[in-house]
Amino acid sequence: MTRKISKGIISWPEEDRPRERLLSRGPHALTDAELIAILVRVGYQGTNAVELGRSLLKQFGSLRAMAEVPLSAMFNVKGLKGAKVAQLAAAMEIARRVSLPDGKKCIQIKGTKQAGEYVKERLRSLPDEHFSVLYLNRQNRLLDDVLIAQGAVDSVKPPVRSIITHALRTNASSLIAAHNHPSGLPEPSESDIILTRDLISASRPLGIKILDHIIVGEETTYSFADSGLLDELELESFSPYPAKRKQMKIKESAL
């Protein structure tokens, strides 16, 4: 029997409706399209919420792919407007945060490898650039993990003052800066290098140590500490005339 789509899901038998089936059988009983339908609630003229869910999956390929696209891409889908886009984005972000390790106050960052793995889980595959800072105490235990700036590629300009102010507020002894390159390549740009040197210069008089600046690509990360570039910038920050940099071999370093 063909359903009359124009009447919407409310016209379906109760046992076929996504929300009712979720409540009676659990969320695992629903398809991806039906889960999306519960979030968007209604479709648009001639298309019900489940069909809208299928349309989203067809356009983006999967739930994971949907979570990685910028919000602007959602607005290009027929039937999605502000409220629906916000509901979908919130659900995707909740799922992402649930997958992250909990209990940040119990985390001790023991080396650059662990720091790289920690930030990689948080910053990889994001559609735009995010700049975060990990604030640590004297035992290298994580005090706070703060998103400082977010925006389109090459437009993020993290304010050094805000980074240092939060370090003072949390009584941090050291910090690790981290940001992602949505392009997938983690090589530092000139602006990344200048920002790191500025952070070193601003933090030194306050007794705050910059332990690393990590750039997250799609598959790999770049560590200013492991590359030797952090040591070089620390020396440069003492001089008003930055020295000419040379290519340095990757080395293993502990925080």
- The domain of 92 spans 5-98
Mean pLDDT of the chain: 85
Same domain, 165 and 141: yes
Place 120 in a pLDDT band, splitting at 50, 70 and 90.
very high
Choose between 184 and 192: higher pLDDT: 192
Could you tell me if 112 and 225 lie in one domain? yes
Question: Is the residue at 254 inside a domain?
Answer: no
CA distances from 81 to 36, 40, 233 (A): 14, 10, 47
Q: Give the tens place of pLDDT for each residue, 77-105.
A: 888 888 898 999 898 888 877 776 655 55
Total structural domains within the chain:
2
**Residue where a domain terminates, one of 98, 126, 144:** 98
User: 160-190: b or e for each residue (b if 16 or more CB lie within 10 Å)?
Assistant: eeebbebbeeeebbbbbbbbbbbeeebebee
Average pLDDT over residues 13-32: 89
pLDDT at position 174? 97
Structural domain includes residue 243 = no
Q: 226-251: buried (b, 16+ CB within 10 Å) or exposed (e) per residue?
A: bbbbbebbbebbeeeeeeeeeeeeee
Question: Are residue 46 and residue 109 in the same domain, yes or no?
Answer: no
- Asked if pLDDT for residue 2 goes beyond 80, the answer is no
pTM > 0.95: no
Boundary (domain end) residue, out of 98, 123, 153: 98
Q: What percent of the chain has pLDDT over 70?
A: 87
Task: Classify residue 76 by burial, with Cβ atoms within 10 Å: 0-12, 13-18, 19+.
Answer: exposed
Flag whether 33 is in a domain. yes
Q: Does 149 score more than 50 pLDDT?
A: yes
Which pLDDT belongs to residue 250?
A: 37
- CATH code at position 183: 3.40.140.10
Is there a single domain that holds both residue 57 and residue 138?
Answer: no
**Looking at 98, 118, 135, which one is the last position of a domain?**
98
Please report whether residue 255 resides in a domain. no
pLDDT for the residue 251: 39
Regarding whether 167 and 75 lie in a shared domain, the answer is no
Q: Who has greater pLDDT, 205 or 240?
A: 205
pLDDT of the residue at 249: 39
Let me know if residue 241 belongs to a domain. Answer: no
pLDDT range class, residue 198, cuts 50, 70, 90: very high
C-alpha dihedral sign at 192, 206, 161, 142: positive
Same domain, 157 and 55: no
Token code pair at residue 236: 């440069």
Residue 72 is part of a domain; what is its CATH number? Answer: 1.10.150
Residues 81 and 164 in one domain: no
Question: Looking at the structure, do residues 21 and 121 belong to the same domain, yes or no?
Answer: no
Same domain, 148 and 192: yes
Which of the pair, 176 or 70, is modelled with greater confidence? Answer: 176
